[in-house]
Structure 1
Amino acid sequence: MPRVSRFLERLAAGPPIVADGGMGALISAAVPRLRSPEEANVRAPQAVVSLHLGFINAGAELIETNSFGANRRKLAAHYLENELETINSTAVRLAREAREVAGRDVFIAGSIGPLGESATRRVRTDLFAEQALVLEGRGVDVFAVETFYDLEELEDAVLAVRSVSSLPIVALMTFDETAETLAGVTAAEAAERLNNLDVAVMGANHGAGLMAALAALEQMGGDGKPLAALPNIGLASLAGGRVVYPHATPDYFAEFAAHARDLGARIIGGCCGTTPAEIAAIDEALAEERKPRARLEFAERELLVSLGEELLETGLARALREREWVVTIQLDPPLGGSSKGLVELALAIGESGKAGYVDINDNATARAGMSSLIVSATIERQAGIETIPHLTTRDASVMGLESMLLGAHSEGVRNILAIT
């Protein structure tokens, strides 16, 4: 039976297809100084084959070509646009080579990602169609049009692929913990529109982690098309110039696979941060027909306010509300362990009457200094002047940021200058 027919039959009759994991993130970690992960197809082809084999040996029945960002617009940003044909052709050849070496008849999905910048519908259609034409010509079995934040761009991509190919299309969007895109489109709204397109599968990938994918599946399910879930292992952070993903046990992914299957997923895998270990856990859970061990519940997060806590307006908030000029002096935290000098300086600023606030830098010039939040709490307590601590996201996870903010709040800090 042709692979396309077998793919469609698996979608209809099951069992779910196990997909691979985070190819791009692993390639970037394995091959140094790449301009883009797709460049590895021509610079380090054996590394690409090795990663494909790792996922196949872990149980993946569908692997994606290393071509996610290989459209002309994205390649041009790295001066690789003249190698579009070579990069995409080689991506398919390496996936097919891994299939042959493994001796397992896995499906090969031609990966197509978003452009990464705004463009007209005509330009988007031309760029997606150009890439799809190369991928089909070299022998992919299906298309994975994935990691789209913009529903209209995803629709354009699907129509572009369909204009040059009749192969099945897996259409995947990226959602946050509330099952919404960055533009505020809910998973239910996305499913309603994707149901009207000629796609074989729709679902969620990348995003804010496993629970975000499950929340999206719950909204997208019903009597529509088969579903897919290929989430990140969690939200990434930046440490020492490297993208770092949180740790999740394989058993956590096994539990995710059981829930995803029960929500109607017919393709289950991973995205950034997931390795063959997580894919093996998914494969084992599905093979054993594992039942979920915990009930799946989705609850909207709430900001908890302690009983008796006063919700007072800060001086800064009042000044901005009344459209007054705000004068603040920026201070750099000490690089050592004593804040005495900074407190004395803040006290002098307050007594001068020339500024109503001090804003505290956060690791200025990428040098480690005292925490801006801790220094701000100390200044407010000892100098009596309102502070505006800077807060950057580069050195902490989401949980770490929440923890620091809660601690600062308990010490009376109420203003934040958020810097990305």
Structure 2
Amino acid sequence: MATSFVERLRTGPPIVADGGMGALLSGAVPGLRCPEEANLRAPESVVAVHASYIRAGAELIETNTFGANRRKLAKHMLEDEFERINSAAVRLAREAREVSGRDVWIGGSIGPLGELEVFDPASHGPLYAEQASVLEGRGVDLLMVETFFDVDELVAAVEAVREVSSLPIVAMLTFDEDAELTGGVGAREAAARLADLDVAAIGTNHGAGPHAALTALAAMENCGLPLAALPNIGLASLVGGRVVYPHSTPEYFAEFAAQAAALGARIVGGCCGTTPAQIEAIHEALTAGRAPAAPLDVDEREQPLAPPAPEGATRLARALEDGEWVVCVELDPPKGGSLDGLVEATKTLRDSGHVQFVDVNDNPMARARMNALMTSIRLQRETGVETIPHVTPRDATVMGLEGVLLGAHAEGVRNVLAVTGDPPHVGDYPGSRGVYEVDSIGLVQLLARLNEGEDYVGKAIDAPTSFFVGVAVNPSADDLDLEVDRFRRKVAAGARFAMTQALFDLAHLERFQERLGGPSPVPLLLGVWPLRSRAMALRIHNEVPGIAVPQRVIDALDAAGASAPQVGLELAQRRLRRLAARSPAST
């Protein structure tokens, strides 16, 4: 079957592939943790979907294993079922072929890991090889390595698969409407990369719909390899907890098939949202040799606006660069819808003549407050005090983070402190889960890329930003080696300054610098917190992770009795004087 597949690609008419599996199975079998679980829980439904596509005219069906690598299954507590799920998927596809009585090819579906972080071939490649070995061992005819957004990851996945399998490989990428991938790589460049691999065909699947697939195909023409096009039915939406796809007519997909064939596609099918109705339309169009009704109309790409003139450094950046003594006061945004009180407090700090900056917390202790970026915009506008809003990846996706950061930049916010944020379960939402598509290091990388004029995945934005990026660091962390390692990674990612957790013993700072191997590579703003009572000191020491209050401080507050607030303030002032004497650049 493998030989016949390659021969058909070279000399025969286009091959009709099947359509989407996940949505059909999830609709037919409620409560699935992932579509691949149906291979064990509802095998008859999997066979039925395969058979429906074969009846519609599919000559190539894919196993229900797109998300069945061990890493993805682990997210659904199914990693121990890895081999059973993949083995059952091949058996069910073969059963559907036998029941139908038709000689169709079975492609083993291998999808990406689905992680936003940078791909690591050394650790991730074996996951693809492991899945390919099981699929080939159970009897697939070819391997469909599909739906990759990053050409480097696809190349590494194909190379890993090729180390364990000699089966034909169809390698497919997912492009946006401009025929671009992560990193701004265009379809033409991607095709050139893939053409150097030992694959039977390359192409595009998933994505925004047929038109986006055709745009990518047009750019991939003349790459020297057979092409494949298996697009989504269109953009999905969420209605009542269900993923809903547009009602793309079979006639629209028939025209897509004609256009794809005219562009040189040798495999034509569908992906998410497509049903046997669309596959039947593709089969009929290709069987009849239908010609396109009109030339392909490729939309012109959106042209970026001219970038503004370069900006000067923020006041904070200039002060730190000049080694000035900087005083910044941390503020919590209000829990309600009015900022009037915080505006007045900031004016009071400004008018004192001792405070140059304020930093604004982002939902501290995982309790909902006004957004730190929006708060900072108004504080700067009405008080003239430069702000340092905290931003955490806990509460928004990467796309959401980019959106609010670009909006804040447009309103004049330039300093940003990238922090991990307190986990949701410690606050008022015990059942909530953080988003955390990236951690604080990834957030620094995101900000650095915006400053370079591109988004997190490397696609150009209209104009670069000019954020002055800071990070949090904790010299009194329990695991100091880990803290030092993460701090170095933050600086390497683009951090320009850092703020520490509250320090109650400067010996922690000395140990941190010793472990670091010398002074901090970026300016440090050191946290000083005047404790008001022994009870407060005990709570902070015992309940707040990463903060240590020395026993001598607790004893001093205890001995002070009613004067504890004044003693706590005097202890904080003493630490400030010691810091000033140590290094004028420390703040």
**TM-score normalised according to structure 2 size:** 0.54
Corresponding position of 1:32? 31
The 1-side partners of 2:294 and 2:401 are apart by 31
> What is the CA–CA distance in structure 2 between the aligned matches of 1:94 and 1:327, rounded to whole Å?
67
How far apart in 1 are the matches of 2:267 and 2:319?
A: 51
Counterpart AA for 1:131: Q
Check 1:87–1:285 CA distance in 2 against 1; reply closer, same or farther (3 A cut).
same
Preserved contact between residue 42 and residue 87 of structure 1 (Cα < 8 Å)? yes
Q: Distance in 1 between matches of 2:200 and 2:48?
A: 29
Which runs of structure 2 are paired with 1:212-223 in the superposition (5 Å)? 213-214=213-214, 216-222=216-222
Residues 1:359 and 2:357 are matched in the alignment = no
Residue 160 (structure 2) aligns with: 157
Cα offset for 1:201? 0.8
Out of 301, 304, 318, the position equivalent to 1:302 is 304
Once the two structures are TM-superposed, the CA of residue 295 in structure 1 deviates from its matched residue by 1.7
- Map of 1:386 onto structure 2: 386
Query: How far did residue 227 of structure 1 move?
Result: 1.0
User: How has the CA–CA distance of structure 1 residues 328 and 258 changed in structure 2, closer, same or farther, with 3 Å as cutoff?
Assistant: farther
Q: Is the 8 A contact 1:213 1:231 kept in 2?
A: yes
- Return the letter of the residue paired with 2:143: F
Q: 1:361 to 1:297 in 2, by over 3 A?
A: same
Going from structure 1 to structure 2, the CA distance change for 1:262 and 1:320 (only over 3 Å counts) comes to farther
Deviations 1:300-342 (A, max 9, x none): 641456xxx7764462684499476876555554443333233
Whether 1:65 and 2:63 are equivalent positions in the alignment is yes
Distance 1:71 1:370, change over 3 A: closer
Q: CA 1:134 to 1:78, structure 2 compared with 1: closer, same or farther past 3 Å? A: same
Would you say the 8 A contact 1:64–1:111 is kept in 2?
Answer: yes
Q: Quote how far apart the aligned CAs of 1:225 are.
A: 0.9
- Taking only aligned residues, the RMSD between alpha carbons, in angstroms, comes to 4.8
CA gap 1:156/1:406 in 2 versus in 1, 3 angstroms: closer
In structure 2, relative to structure 1, the CA distance for the partners of 1:33 and 1:90 (3 Å cut) is closer
Q: Distance in 1 between matches of 2:177 and 2:417?
A: 24
Take 1:17 and 1:111, find their aligned partners in 2: how far apart are those partners?
A: 16
Distance 1:378 1:54, change over 3 A: farther
The equivalent of 1:146 in structure 2 is 146
Q: Are the equivalent residues in 2 in contact too, given 1:258–1:290 (CA < 8 A)?
A: yes
How far the C-alpha of 1:355 sits from its partner, in A, is 4.6
Q: Deviations over 1:337-392 (max 9, x none)?
A: 3332333344344444435143352698374x545554343333223333455375
What is residue 337 of structure 1 aligned with on the other side?
A: 337
State the match for 2:451 in structure 1: none
Give, in whole Å, the separation in 2 of the partners of 1:171 and 1:84.
22
From 86, 104, 108, the counterpart of 1:88 = 86
Q: 1:170 is paired with a residue of what secondary structure?
A: strand
Contact 2:331 2:358 in 1 (8 A): no
CA separation in 1, counterparts of 2:245 and 2:32? 25
Letter in 2 for 1:93: R
One-letter identity of the residue aligned with 1:266 = R
Q: 1:291 to 1:372 in 2, by over 3 A?
A: farther
Distance 1:238 1:366 in 2: 27
Contact 1:92 1:135 in 2 (8 A): yes
1:118 aligns with 2:120: yes
Distance 1:215 1:385 in 2: 49
1:175-198 residue CA offsets vs partner (Å, 9 max, x unmatched) = 566655546765444433433443
Kindly name which structure, 1 or 2, has the bigger radius of gyration based on alpha carbons. 2
**Structure 1: stretches of 5+ with no match in the other structure:** none
Amino acid at match of 1:291: A
Q: What is the rounded CA distance, in whole Å, between the counterparts of 1:333 and 1:74 in structure 2?
A: 38
Gaps of 5+ in 2: 420-437, 439-587
Distance 1:228-1:15 versus aligned 2 partners, 3 A rule:
closer
Aligned partner letter, 1:276 = T
Distance in 2 (CA, whole Å) between partners of 1:195 and 1:66 is 27
Using a 3 Å threshold, how does the CA distance of structure 1 residues 327 and 58 change in structure 2: closer, same or farther?
A: farther
Deviations 1:265-322 (A, max 9, x none): 2223444x534289459738945544357621453641456xxx77644626844994
Mapping 1:180-259, distance limit 5 Å: 181-182=181-182, 187-206=187-206, 213-214=213-214, 216-222=216-222, 224-231=224-231, 248=246, 250=248, 259=259
Which amino acid counterpart does residue 156 of structure 2 have in structure 1? E
Written as runs of structure 1 = structure 2, the 5 A alignment for 1:371-410 is 371-389=371-389, 390=391, 398=399, 408=408
| Residues 1:263 and 2:268 aligned together | no
TM-score (norm 1): 0.71
Q: Does the CA contact (< 8 Å) of 2:170 and 2:201 recur in 1?
A: yes
Cα deviation, 1:84-103, whole Å, max 9, x if unaligned, reads 43222210122234455667
- Between the aligned partners of 1:393 and 1:291, the Cα distance in structure 2 is 49
Could you tell me how far 1:250 is from its partner in structure 2?
1.9
Shift in Å at residue 217 of structure 1? 3.0
Cα 1:392–1:134, aligned 2, differ >3 Å: closer, same or farther? closer
Q: What amino acid maps onto 2:132 in structure 1? A: A
Q: 1:405 to 1:278 in 2, by over 3 A?
A: farther
- Equivalent pair of 1:128/1:160 in contact (CA under 8 Å): no
Aligned length: 404
Partner of 2:43: 45
Q: Aligned partner of 2:298: which letter? A: L
Identify if the C-alpha distance between structure 1 residues 404 and 73 changes in structure 2 by more than 3 Å, giving closer, same or farther: closer
**1:48 partner letter:** V
